[in-house]
Amino acid sequence: MSRHRVVIIGGGFAGLSAVKALANAPVDVLLLNRENYYTSSPLLHQVATGELEPELIAYPIRSMLRHIKNVQFITANVKQVNVSSQCIQTHKYVIPYDFLIIAAGSDSKNVGIPGAIEYTFPLKKLEQAVNLRNQIIHCLEQAVLEVNPSLRQQLLTFTIVGGGATGVELAASLTEMIVALVKDYPTLDFSEVRVVLLQAGDSLVPQMSRRLRMYVRLRLEKMGVQVILRSRVRQVTSEAVYLQDSRVIPTKTTIWTGGVTGNPLARTWGLPLARDGRVIVLPTLQAPKHPQVYVVGDLASLPGMPMLAPVAIQQGEMAARNILRQIQHQELLPMHYQHMGNMIILGRYDAVLDLGKLKITGVTAWLIWLAVHLLILPGFRNRLLVLMNWLWGCLFGECLVRLVLPLPSVNKLPIRRKKMQVMGYIYPKSRSRFTTLRIHGHTDMDSQENY
């Protein structure tokens, strides 16, 4: 009997967890990811504020899968999923599947606010974190030369929209970055620098208990962050943020961490969507009416499951287990999320940890945060270097990465079909009749309709 092929879209927390659960199982797995590396998103804010080099929080996916025999990986941007003909389309190829796990993650939800897409800095991907770091340092460099006080104020005001966990962590880290940079800019008056945190609701980090919410707010204010609650953004331009209550914040840097939506690509795939753009799934993580399609991680909408890394990891594993059960005609299992608690780092030596009845703050919580985030980082070298960077930062209070670097541009070289054929099962899009190419060069002719 031929082995079933499981295609996984997305090599983030959920996709890689599914891969691990399918390792050495009697199925062939093909993992597709837009980049050739995995990113540990919970550390993105530290890249944006120069605490860590970008390479330290990313890891080549091929190296992670090196020892798993039944898994292949391709760097590919999936454009379309056709659930009725059971195939997916990348920028160049059409790939059929027996089972599909969609783990394509989420995106920033800033649509509908004029100027938000054009003028805000998102923080979802590694290159966005580098871009933001460039912008922060660039603004300081420009401010040194700026004699006009109102233009200098724009350059030295950093506005974060969204007082959830990411916004709070970034605000704390950004404040520390600025303090660390004082000695590099002796001619700049750092009392002019403002970090503003805008939150639409009544409190920061609403998922935390009341006591911890208060703790977080007081800590940020003590660090010098200007927290503005009940502030809804009306418009963003390259020079200011306009609030609905007609307040205006002059700023050249508006960072968007408020609200998240399911990966917008999924909107065209014919799957049922919740209001936040995530795909509605059954408790078994299958898409309704498409038992071969599983949706996991940030993209899956299931009651009581927040967009968090532990949810994604557990769902990826559960989808993989259910696929193996489905192949063996066993009853599928519903997803039960085991909540691990919430934690937020508040700069150096402080964090909050909400484990239900147990709440921890201060240095103990900070040490736990560091340990957990070190453990989820793939690669021993990465862990060691991240630990060293943290120690260095604590000892010398320095912002380690202060270069304004050009972002890498991807060279669009044509992919030679012969090379792709070796990977197997790739269907050139341009042809009307397809050839199924099996691994190790063995060719099996199959005809399919053009996608």
Ligand X SMILES: Cc1cc2nc3c(=O)[nH]c(=O)nc-3n(C[C@H](O)[C@H](O)[C@H](O)COP(=O)(O)OP(=O)(O)OC[C@H]3O[C@@H](n4cnc5c(N)ncnc54)[C@H](O)[C@@H]3O)c2cc1C
Catalytic residues: 169
By CB under 6 A, tell whether 14 contacts ligand X: yes
Task: Indicate the residue among 21 and 240 with the shorter CB distance to ligand X.
Answer: 21
Task: Indicate the residue among 86 and 142 with the shorter CB distance to ligand X.
Answer: 86
Strands (E), 14-63: 27-33, 37-39, 58-60
With CB atoms as reference, the residue minimizing the distance to ligand X is 12
Q: How far is the CB of 191 from ligand X (least distance, A)?
A: 29
Query: From residue 249 to residue 268, what is the string marking binding to ligand X with x (rule CB under 6 A)?
Result: --------------x-x---
- Strand pairing class (436-437; 427-428): unpaired
By CB under 6 A, tell whether 12 contacts ligand X: yes
By CB under 6 A, tell whether 42 contacts ligand X: yes
Q: Name 101's bridge partners.
A: 8, 294
- Residue from 309, 365, 399, 400 in contact with ligand X (CB under 6 A): 309
Name the one range near ligand X by CB under 6 A: 32-40, 153-161, 193-201, 377-385. Answer: 32-40
**Cα–Cα distance for residue pair 67/24, rounded to 1 Å:** 10
By CB under 6 A, tell whether 41 contacts ligand X: yes
**Cα–Cα distance for residue pair 106/277, rounded to 1 Å:** 9
Task: Indicate the residue among 133 and 152 with the shorter CB distance to ligand X.
Answer: 133
For 252-290, give the DSSP string.
SEEEE-S-EEE-GGGGGTT--B-TTSPEE--TTSEETTE
Task: Indicate the residue among 160 and 240 with the shorter CB distance to ligand X.
Answer: 160
Q: How far is the CB of 268 from ligand X (least distance, A)?
A: 11
- Strand pairing class (27-33; 351-355): unpaired
By CB under 6 A, tell whether 32 contacts ligand X: yes
Task: Indicate the residue among 18 and 243 with the shorter CB distance to ligand X.
Answer: 18
- Residue from 21, 56, 78, 400 in contact with ligand X (CB under 6 A): 78
Structure tokens at 319: 């989808």
By CB under 6 A, tell whether 171 contacts ligand X: no
Q: How far is CA 256 from CA 116, 142, 182, 358, 387, in A?
A: 8, 22, 25, 31, 28
Q: How far is the CB of 429 from ligand X (least distance, A)?
A: 15
* End-to-end Cα, the chain, rounded Å: 27
Q: How far is the CB of 79 from ligand X (least distance, A)?
A: 7
Name the one range near ligand X by CB under 6 A: 36-44, 136-144, 183-191, 329-337. Answer: 36-44
Burial of residue 368 (number of CB atoms within 10 Å: 0-12, 13-18, 19+): middle
Number of residues that bind ligand X (CB under 6 A): 34
CA 309 to chain centre: 9
By CB under 6 A, tell whether 44 contacts ligand X: yes
DSSP 2: P
**Cα–Cα distance for residue pair 310/285, rounded to 1 Å:** 15
By CB under 6 A, tell whether 197 contacts ligand X: no
Q: How far is the CB of 262 from ligand X (least distance, A)?
A: 9
Task: Indicate the residue among 63 and 238 with the shorter CB distance to ligand X.
Answer: 63
Q: How many CB atoms lie within 10 A of CB 19?
A: 26
Q: How many CB atoms lie within 10 A of CB 278?
A: 24
By CB under 6 A, tell whether 105 contacts ligand X: yes
- Residue from 7, 57, 103, 281 in contact with ligand X (CB under 6 A): 103
- Residue from 33, 159, 251, 314 in contact with ligand X (CB under 6 A): 33
**Cα–Cα distance for residue pair 278/295, rounded to 1 Å:** 9
* 352 contacts 330 by C-beta, under 8 angstroms: no
By CB under 6 A, tell whether 164 contacts ligand X: no
Task: Indicate the residue among 297 and 347 with the shorter CB distance to ligand X.
Answer: 297
- Tell me the three state secondary structure of residue 18: helix
**Cα–Cα distance for residue pair 374/361, rounded to 1 Å:** 19
Q: What are phi and psi of 233, to 5 degrees?
A: -80, 130
**Cα–Cα distance for residue pair 135/137, rounded to 1 Å:** 6
By CB under 6 A, tell whether 54 contacts ligand X: no
By CB under 6 A, tell whether 167 contacts ligand X: no
- Residue from 13, 256, 390, 434 in contact with ligand X (CB under 6 A): 13
- Residue from 24, 26, 66, 77 in contact with ligand X (CB under 6 A): 77
- Tell me the three state secondary structure of residue 49: coil
Q: How far is the CB of 139 from ligand X (least distance, A)?
A: 20
CA-wise closest residue to 281 among 100, 110, 20, 32: 100
Q: How far is the CB of 163 from ligand X (least distance, A)?
A: 14
Binding site for ligand X (CB under 6 A): 9-15, 32-35, 41-42, 44-45, 77-78, 103-105, 123-124, 165-166, 263, 265, 297-299, 307-310, 312
